[in-house]
Amino acid sequence: APVSPRVKGGYVGVILCILLVVVLENKWIRDKIRDNKRNFRHSSGKLEQGISRNEFRNIIRSQKAVLAPLTRGGNLPFRRLCVKYGANVTYGEMMFTKMLLRGDATERARLRVGPHEKYYGAQIACKSINDGVTAGKMAQEAGATFVDLNCGCPIHEATKRGLGATLLQKPSKLRRLVEGLVSGLDPLPVSVKIRTGKSSDHITMHQIVKNMGEVGASAIAVHGRTQQQRYSQSANWSQIREAVKIAEEYDMPVIGNGDILTHYEAQAFQELSGCATVMIGRGALIKPWIFEELCRDTTLTPTPEERVEIYRELVGYMKDHFRDDARGKRMAFYFLPWHFNFFCRYRPLVPETFQDLSEDHPLIQSSRAISLLLGEEREVDPLENLLRSENEKVHVDIAEILWEADSDAEAIDKLKKYGESDTFVDLESNARNEKRTGRRTSESTKNADNNGGDREQMEETSDNFVAG
């Protein structure tokens, strides 16, 4: 049947509306990038971008620590919190360049640079020079000080695309890629983040560090684990020391990464390896004030009430970023409850008690020993007990209270009452029962299969309130 003019007009109207939305969305993104660039100013009023390769290297060498690129955790409000506590160099969350260049809204959002970020690195995941250069120029327009190529991410989402740690398997190909990025983005500094290799019997770090120095990478961050190890074993800082010796020939600073939870561990690892500075990831997620600890060379032990105030700072930054309305709250709550998976692992690790232990084994991998030394009890202060909860349902409730509270005092009062409520007690009891049941099932299956292996290591990983 023929379509009436009225229906045709309706189709045209719908198409025009869709086109208008696309145009407005792209304009909004361009405006945001322009605003970031305009606002990305230091106290002098000058843009902190356009620095030379040598200036960037000196900046890296002058830092006590830098904030690692963090999947999900590297959101702009959390980076802002870390900057407040002393992180001068920050990395954004890894961006897939293919998706970025196709206009993916999530990837484009990761271009955002906060006006508070002094030296910001946009981390990209790519295997094409053209894609990397195009993405790097977009990041520079948005206010990035440098671009970092991810060659260390072990997650399937990256490796199935031939990205992240997969790039470590072909040092010659990686060399050509970085050489192209350095040339195409000049004078924007280009850094690289790697692991030591695919596995313990396939270490490619030495050749890669040499190659990166030869093609002009401005810095290289070395995570002292292989792709296969992920986070299951302690980082190998002796191998990072080997990378430092190679990089010295090219005046390329090495950033050491892996297992840092305290200022005294950071100092010990830096002395052991000789690296220019250290990169902190999970340690910052657990206690964002770790950068202040390093700057002041001391251990901070905030009370539960003081930690609530810090967490409310993060809530405030999220309201600034996402807006304090229903839509903003939905966006923020993709991140906020998740952060409590790490905040709950905080313990006061004073050097008098824990420094000797840290010399034998990284504290971020030593939950049981820490519990024994602390004489860990469940009958602690109700607020402390609440903040230590590993229950994700509790994390959502904590986030709700922090979001809705009008003041620190109100948030603390409501959290204390919630920590003493039957609701919380029941949630914790159910979680403990599920955990016990899960352990029994796991052990029964393991014994039935007679697979052998290290049960202690399995339990250490599953129970670890620090390692994540």
- The β-bridge partners of 202 are 199
Q: What's the token pair of residue 423?
A: 């609701």
Which of the following is catalytic: 82, 126, 151, 153? Answer: 153
Nearest to 98 by CA among 168, 190, 160, 171: 160
CA atoms within 13 A on the CB side of 145: 28
Alpha-carbon span 402 to 316, nearest angstrom: 9
pLDDT digit of tens for each residue in the chain (468 aa)? 555 655 556 666 666 666 665 555 555 555 544 444 434 333 333 334 479 999 999 999 999 999 999 999 999 999 999 999 999 999 999 999 999 999 999 999 999 999 999 999 999 999 999 999 999 999 999 999 999 999 999 988 999 999 999 999 999 999 999 999 999 999 999 999 999 999 999 999 999 999 999 999 999 999 999 999 988 889 999 999 999 999 999 999 999 999 999 999 999 999 999 999 999 999 999 999 999 999 999 999 999 999 999 999 999 999 999 999 999 999 999 999 999 999 999 999 999 999 999 999 999 988 888 888 887 655 579 999 999 999 999 999 999 999 999 999 999 999 999 999 999 999 999 988 887 776 554 444 444 443 333 322 322 333 333 332
Instruction: Give the C-alpha separation, 28 to 42, whole Å.
Output: 25
Determine how β-strand 219-223 pairs with β-strand 119-125.
unpaired
Any catalytic annotation for residue 344?
no
Predicted local confidence at residue 2, as pLDDT: 58
Give the model's pLDDT for residue 231.
82
pTM above 0.95, yes or no: no
Looking at residue 456, its pLDDT comes to 27
Question: What's the CA gap between 424 and 339, in Å, rounded?
Answer: 19
How far apart CA 56 and CA 216 sit, in angstroms, is: 13
In angstroms, how far is CA 407 from the centroid of its own chain? 28
